[in-house]
Each structure stands twice: as structure tokens, then as C-alpha cells.
Amino acid sequence: METPVNHPSLTARATLAALAMGCLALSAPALAQTQQLLVSSEKDHQITVMTADGGVTATIPVCKRPRHMAFIGGGTQVLVACGDSHQLGVVDLASAKLVDTIPTGESPELFALSPDGKVAYVSIEEDNELAAYDLASKKRLFAVKTGGEPEGVLLSADGKTAYVTSEVGNAVHVIDLGTRKQVAVIKTGKRPRRFAMSPDGAELWVSNELGASVSIIDTATRQVKATLAFELPGMRKTDITPVSLLITPDGKTAWVALGRANHVAEVDVAQRQVRRTVLVGKRAWGLALNADASRLYVANGLSDDLTLVDTRSGKATKTVPAGRVPHSVLVK
């Protein structure tokens, strides 16, 4: 196991020291203005705090191998899955510290929160299950077996249904959270990884890492209704490995990170067609949009950086360092 490495800049050190002493007396609104991006770094065991333009303002040491993140506590805290610590970590943004941990099964991957934010549904890779944890009591509520190597987790808007990808099983497992039972298995492409749901809840998009494609599932029939395949000139299909994806709030556009192809694809949702691709860093992985969807942030796991993409022009505007093996991005 690697020892956590943290090398904050002098500015970052001064900022953290001032926070600890109360000298800056930053309010929650002020933090929201100055700390706009959070990037989890798997190899540095930290979260990098950045401005909207990619300037680093602080680094926050957390548990080992931080991956997926989500805001909790009304945006005052961040919940992070730490794969090598086998726990969820709770980060307080005002103090810039890890303030609590919740034990999980071995190697938690991704998670989804219940609509009230009280329960985390976590894919436990080594145990091949979806496990539910009460965040307040830290108790494990229940677990449901899935296929091998579960990763992506997404809940329906009403919080009644969970969808979980199985990388080994090439399938999506549908779980009724009321009965705590699996109710369907939907076959997808090879090695499904992550999800995006259309705003109306009618379509579930699933990235297939080894299939160079996205499976589009009709949530009513629980059937794959379409498959979107990706191609890039001069590139082998095996080098196109889609992982993260998201759909814009208006439901018109999907963005897909193409992994080792070092590009992201902009997709017309209605037409099921790629409008254009944008060259970014090495192994494009995590994705996030700002509030008006004018800027896309891309975490590049093999070049240790973050690419900022202007979504209107379809051009990368800059790429900045973001810690070793950046995984996920949050925009505050």
C-alpha cells in the first residue's frame, strides 16, 4: 500500500492553517465562491480543491484511494468512497478536514444517496453486492447480491429502485429497495461501468467500457432499446473505452468520456448521434458540468490532470494538474 502523499502549495498551506485558526472566518457562501471544484485523487489519497478555472486552493487528506463523491449536509460536506480503506469518508468543507468515516465492505466503488440523503447505496466490488448504509448511525442496513465486480449505482427519482452495473456479468441489475430483492437483470455490452438517466426518467444510459458503446435502456420495459457505438478515425475499437457519462438538464445532450481514446464525445440524445469529439488528457474518466452546462470538467486518470472544455465551442480551453490519478469531479 502506498503511503499518502500530500504536497500542498504555500498558498494552500496558509489557507488551511488560517482555516484551522479561524483567521479567515469564511462563511459557507464565501467557501462556495472560492472553492468551486473538488477532485478526488486515488494515488494521493486526497481531494484537490480548485477554482472554477482550475487553480488549486487547497488539498484535503482523506482515506485511502478516494473515488466517487457526492455532497451531503446541504452541500456543507462531501461523502467519498475510499476503495483501499474500505469505508466512506465524510469531509467538512468549512474546516477542510476528514471528520468522520463509515466502515463498508471491501473495496467500495460508487454509491447513490436516497432522496432524503440519509442512506448511501454502495457497490462493494469484492463482495459482489449492493450494500445500504445509514449515514447517521453508520449501520449496514442490508445487502443484495449482484453480478461480479459491481460498479455503477443509480437510483430512480422516487428512490424506490436501484440500478447496478456488473462489469463481469455484462449486465445491469435492477433492485427493488422496498422488498430488498433483485427484480430484473438487463444484458448490456461488454463491461458496463456507469449510468446517466434522462431527466424524465424514461431512459437509462449505460457505458460499456470494452464494447466501445453505450446501451440505452427503456426503464418501463427494462429492455435495451438502442446501442450507440463510438468510432474515432485511425483508432482501434479496443482503445475506445467509455466510462463516465452524463446527460444535460435539458435532456438534449449527453457527454461521454471515452477513456483510453483520450477524447470526450458530445452526443445528440434524440438522434443518437455523435455531434463531435474533443481531445482531452490521457484516459478521460470522470465528468462534471457547471451550473449552466457551459463548461465540462474532465478528469484524466493517466495524465494526472483536469481538462476544461467549453461546451458551446466544443473546444478544450486548458488542462491543469489535478493530483495523481484523478477519479471524480464535483462542482459546487
* Average pLDDT estimate for 125-131: 96
Assign 161 to helix, strand or coil.
strand
What proportion of the chain, given as a percentage, has pLDDT over 70? Answer: 89
Give 27: exposed, middle or buried? Use CB within 10 Å, 0-12, 13-18, 19+. Answer: exposed
Say if residues 212 and 260 touch (Cβ distance below 8 Å): no
Q: What is the pLDDT of residue 329?
A: 98
* Average pLDDT estimate for 146-157: 97
* Average pLDDT estimate for 274-283: 98
Q: Does pLDDT of 308 surpass 80?
A: yes
Q: What is the pLDDT of residue 36?
A: 83
Q: What is the pLDDT of residue 19?
A: 35
Whole-angstrom CA distances from 228 to 32, 70, 249 are 37, 28, 20
* Average pLDDT estimate for 303-307: 98
Q: Does pLDDT of 152 surpass 80?
A: yes
Q: Which of 16-30, 162-176, 179-193, 293-307 has the least mean pLDDT?
A: 16-30
* Average pLDDT estimate for 160-173: 98
Count CA atoms closer than 13 A to 41's CA, side-chain side: 27
Q: pTM of the predicted model, to two decimals?
A: 0.88
Q: Does pLDDT of 25 surpass 70?
A: no
Q: Does pLDDT of 317 surpass 80?
A: yes
Q: Does pLDDT of 50 surpass 80?
A: yes
Greatest alpha-carbon span in the chain: 57
Q: In the CATH scheme, what is the code of domain 105-187?
A: 2.40.10.500
- pLDDT tens digits for 209-230? 999 999 999 999 999 999 999 9
* Average pLDDT estimate for 134-163: 97
**Averaged pLDDT score across all residues of the chain:** 91
Q: Are strands 150-155 and 161-166 parallel, antiparallel or unpaired?
A: antiparallel
* Average pLDDT estimate for 93-102: 97
